[in-house]
Chains A and B, each alone.
Chain A
Amino acid sequence: MRKVTLLKFIGVFLCLFLGACGVKIQGIDLGRIFDAAGKVNNFGEKEEQEELALGQDTIKSLLNNATIYPHQTLQSYVNKVGYWLVKHTSRPDLPWRFMVLDDASVNAFAAPGGYIAITRGMLASLNNEAELAGVLAHEIAHVVLLHHMHALQKKSKTGFLFDLAVIGAQVGNASTANAQGELQGPDVSGVFDKAVNDLYYRGLDREDELKADKLGVILSAKAGYDPYAFVSVLQVIGSREGREEADLQRFIRVHPSAETRLNSLESTFFLIDSYDLSNRVLAQRFRTYSQN
């Protein structure tokens, strides 16, 4: 208890100090974080602020080796599908950003705060809008369920109270700051980058993937899409597992096997089958938007 009180005191002190200085580490506004640290009773708001900051840094880190696909029609189309889906989630007001990456490999991923990326290789492997919705809904589910956020906090030990201790220690050790107020030297940047690299190289916990599958399928169905389209996607990927295909290596490494995922979805589809659904597939629209 005394430890918590001491950390709160440090937080309030650093809030005043860093807020005045406008210091940033990895783009995270420490002034804002420590300002939020004073609002211990308003943990949800603080967590969302931290999520947005972490998400921005995560996507920047991930895009160091990737390019956003310069096809405005396609980007706009994917955003419309994505925004129609998120409208049906519990977090419609996040600043969602959907993007197609100029990458021939088959992959899709999410970052905290509402960043969803899908490669053009994945798009090329899909047949219709319902399949696209299924893939996006799976990634949206990761964000809604805070999977990457919690994994990054765990890996980089940047949980709420750890923030104050770790970042506070780094501020104490830092000796210089650049013109933008970003701290230089051996700070938490290294810890953060390592956490991002580890997470996106190894993938989330298997249980998180299976939970995102279930929520994603139900979300697709709620938005009016054919939820079985996602089964099709997994079955095609499953038929390619076990082969040394370069374009699938990353996807396979960070996800449970398609067989495991399909087995896990059986109970969800038992529930889905009890609904009378509209099951829209929209193959023609998918082709029109993605080929023009």
Chain B
Amino acid sequence: MMPMIRFFTQGLVQILSISLLSTSLPVWANQDAILLSNTPMLIAPSSKASIVTQLSKDAPVTLLKRKGGWYQIQTEDHQTGWLRMLKVRFLSEQESNDRSIARILRETAVMPPASGVSTGVRGVSDEALNQKMEMSPIGLEQLKHFVPVEEEVDAFAKEGKLKTQENVVLPGK
């Protein structure tokens, strides 16, 4: 019986995984992770924010989104809050699948969308890159043609609202 359930749930996980390939979610969106140490879950992405709850080392969480050095996370009991990015370790796809299967068996409910199976989702798919190839071969010498002049670089930065952060000092400079 158990091997049949495992086969069924793995199939379900794979189907959900394939359906996600067409989305543009970040690679880590809905990524399963565990905590590297005891840490407070905060109500907002700021060290001054109030504490929602205290989480323990190895507690499983799901990452929802990122803001600066913070992840918004959901705990297994569906509480949400914010943690420092460096406080988590991503689960491998196998660990994540095992966790998803365990969750299905435990809850015997419909699996939440995109839960724990999104490590294959990529910002730019290989297929998209292959379809858009401009087929003229490029030699090493031709790379200089892609070097932008300074004005192009500055315009590119301006378009992206990128500004030199004068307060940041590079080491050894």
Contact A97 B134 (CB under 8 A): no
Q: Does B110 have its Cβ within 8 Å of any Cβ on chain A? A: no
Query: With an 8 A cutoff between CB atoms, is B144 at the interface?
Result: yes
When the two chains form their complex, are residues B132 and A232 in contact, meaning their CB atoms are under 8 A apart? no
If A73-B134, A218-B171 touch, whether A59 touches B140 (CB-CB below 8 Å) is: yes
User: CB of B4 within 8 A of chain A?
Assistant: no
Max chain B Cβ within 10 angstroms of own Cβ: one of A67, A98, A125, A127: A127
Question: Is B162 touching A68 in the complex (CB atoms < 8 A)?
Answer: no
Name the residue among B31, B160, B161 with the largest chain A CB count within 10 angstroms. B160
CA distance A239 to B88 in the complex (A): 11
Query: A170 at the A/B interface (Cβ < 8 Å)?
Result: no
- Contact yes or no, A104 B126, CB < 8 A: yes
CA distance A96 to B148 in the complex (A): 11
Which residue of chain A is the closest to B160 with respect to CB atoms?
A: A282
Q: Is the CB of A280 within 8 A of B162?
A: yes
The verdict on A75 contacting chain B, using a C-beta distance below 8 Å, is yes
Chain B interface helix/strand/loop/mixed: loop
Q: For B159, what are the chain A residues with a Cβ–Cβ distance below 8 Å?
A: 285
Q: Is B103 an interface residue (CB 8 A)?
A: no
A153: interface (CB < 8 Å): no
Q: Which A residues touch B160, using CB under 8 A?
A: 129, 280, 282, 285
Q: How far is it, in angstroms, between the C-alpha of A286 and the C-alpha of B105 when the chains are bound?
A: 39
Which chain A residues border B91 with CB–CB below 8 Å? Answer: 239
State the CA gap A212–B124 with chains docked (Å).
26
Q: Which residues of B contact A21 (CB under 8 A)?
A: none
CB < 8 Å neighbour of A266 from B86, B88, B153, B162: B86
Interface size band for A: 35 or more
- CB proximity of A92 to chain B, nearest CB, Å: 10
Indicate whether B135 reaches chain A with its CB closer than 8 angstroms.
yes
Distance A275 CA – B69 CA, assembled complex (angstroms): 12
* Contact residues of A between 211 and 232, Cβ < 8 Å to B: 214-215, 218-219, 221-226, 228, 231-232
Q: Is the CB of A68 within 8 A of B171?
A: no
Task: Return the chain B residue nearest A224 by Cβ.
Answer: B162
Does residue A290 face the partner (Cβ distance < 8 Å to B)?
yes
Q: Interface segment, A1-9, A76-84, A171-179?
A: A76-84
Closest-by-CB residue of A relative to B85 is A231
Residues of A within 8 A of B (CB): 59-60, 63, 67-76, 78-81, 83-84, 87-90, 95-99, 104, 120-121, 123-129, 214-215, 218-219, 221-226, 228, 231-232, 235-236, 238-243, 259, 262, 265-266, 269, 272-273, 275-280, 282-283, 285-287, 290-292
Q: Which residues of B contact A (CB under 8 A)?
A: 24, 26-28, 31, 66, 68-69, 85-86, 88-94, 119, 122-126, 128-129, 132-140, 143-144, 146-148, 150, 152-153, 156-157, 159-165, 167-168, 170-173
Q: Offer 29 A-B interface pairs, CB within 8 angstroms, sorted by A.
A: A68-B139, A70-B138, A71-B134, A75-B143, A75-B146, A79-B147, A80-B156, A83-B153, A88-B170, A90-B173, A98-B143, A120-B126, A124-B126, A214-B171, A219-B170, A222-B164, A235-B88, A239-B31, A240-B119, A243-B92, A269-B86, A273-B69, A277-B165, A278-B163, A280-B162, A282-B160, A286-B123, A290-B128, A292-B132
